[in-house]
Amino acid sequence: MPLGDFTPLLARPARAGRADGTGAASQASPRKGRLSSERLSPFVLIAPAVLVIVLFRLWPLLLGVNFSFTGDGERNGSAVGLDNYAELFTDPLFLGALRNVGWLVLLLPVAVAIPGMLATFIYLRVPGHRFYRSVYFFPAVLSPVIVGSIFNLLLSFDGPVNRLLGLAGLGPVDWLGDSNVAMFTVVGVHVWATFGMSLVVFLSGFATLDPALLDAARSDGATLPQVIRHVIIPGLSRTIQFVFVTTMIGMLTSMFGLIYVMTSGGPGGSTYLPEYYIWIQQGQMNRPAFASAASTVLFLVMLVVGLAQVSFLRRTGRED
């Protein structure tokens, strides 16, 4: 940005009170250097942050997209067009990872409804609501590594969970060793670990809800489901939207630790998610360009899912 391009900060009319005061201060300043350093101050203050974000977050995004059109190994650096993408969509592991993303999207309403219901009950002050609030939130601050390690113990074949099922007369389940079950187990543990986060967000949304509306609905004799349907859901549409989007992002980007600790993608590649696939291709297979192609696909998937959700939720919000 050329220096003469911005209006001097000190002569800003936008903030009435400031123009006089700071004008006087600058007159009192003996050296001109101080004035120009003052003029540059916003840029000096913000430059380090901008530099870090541009260099280590935005620039790599472009670099990665660019990188995804090049080859690995023997074809290192040479342009290969869409070869990486073509290979990606024939790799059963990657397709399995995308199918698992599909499962996550389908399970999303459940992962949002659980904390939503719990927050509703806490808001309606079920006995012990304060206690529940702090207990439920606790797993949300634990690392996926800790959560995964603990559940490795709990879900082992002769562990507590199967023992509990045994008491109910149900056979033991091979939670992490059965390829039909493992993905749902990992998602279930993820929901256990994160529902407290959404719960707290819901509760802060409830704080903005007009209590008079609830009282009115109650005195009209509305049942709990009616209150939820006609008062709480419309009143919290923004919060619900926020929770949907953040839960989806959480599922797509913060399950690496759980998968790494609990299943390593197995059994039979059944618990792969794109982020784990990228990590394997980059770190274990040493195919960074190919991994970049998978990264780009993940980014597009997140963009599409996120935008679709926002527009869908907006539309349903308007119809209400």
Residues 149-178 that bind another protein (CB under 8 A): 149-154, 159-160, 163
Q: How far is CA 43 from CA 6, 19, 39, 147, in A?
A: 12, 20, 9, 43
| Residue with token string 């592991």 | 93
Q: Which one-letter DSSP state was computed for residue 75?
A: G
Query: Should residue 226 be labelled a site residue for another protein when binding is judged by CB under 8 A?
Result: no
Q: Which residues of 190-221 are buried (b: 16+ CB within 10 A; e: fewer)?
A: bbebbbbbbbbbbbebbeeeeeeebeebeeee
Among 15, 75, 229, 314, binds another protein (CB under 8 A): 15
Select the residue interacting with another protein from 111, 275, 280, 305 (CB under 8 A): 275
> For tokens 């024939």, what's the residue?
90
Smaller CB separation from another protein, 67 or 180: 67
- Shortest Cβ distance from residue 209 to another protein (Å)? 12
Binding window for another protein (CB under 8 A); candidates: 80-88, 132-140, 169-177, 312-320: 132-140
257 binds another protein (CB under 8 A): yes
Span 85-104, contacts to another protein by CB under 8 A = none
Rounded Cα gap, residues 18 and 16, in angstroms: 6
Q: Does 239 bind another protein (CB under 8 A)?
A: yes
Whole-angstrom distance, CA of residue 292 vs CA of residue 298: 10
Tell me if 77 contacts another protein by CB under 8 A. no
Is residue 115 involved in binding another protein (CB under 8 A)?
A: no
Q: Which of 295, 78, 13 is nearest to 23 (CA)?
A: 13
Contact status: 204 vs another protein (CB under 8 A): yes
Binders of another protein in range 34-73 (CB under 8 A): 34, 37-38, 41-43, 45-46, 48-50, 52-53, 55-58, 60-61, 63-64, 67
Query: Could you say whether residue 209 binds another protein (CB under 8 A)?
Result: no
Whole-number Å distance between alpha carbons of 126 and 221: 19
Q: Which one of 69, 94, 242, 272 is in contact with another protein (CB under 8 A)?
A: 242
**280 forms part of the interface with another protein (CB under 8 A):** no
Q: Which stretch binds another protein (CB under 8 A): 3-11, 83-91, 103-111, 179-187?
A: 3-11
The letter for the amino acid at 74 is E
CB proximity list for 252: less than 8 A, separation 6 or greater: 101, 104, 273, 274, 275, 298, 301, 302, 305
Stretch that binds another protein, among 19-27, 74-82, 88-96, 99-107 (CB under 8 A): 19-27
**Cis geometry, peptide bond prior to residue 13 (ω within 30 degrees of 0):** no
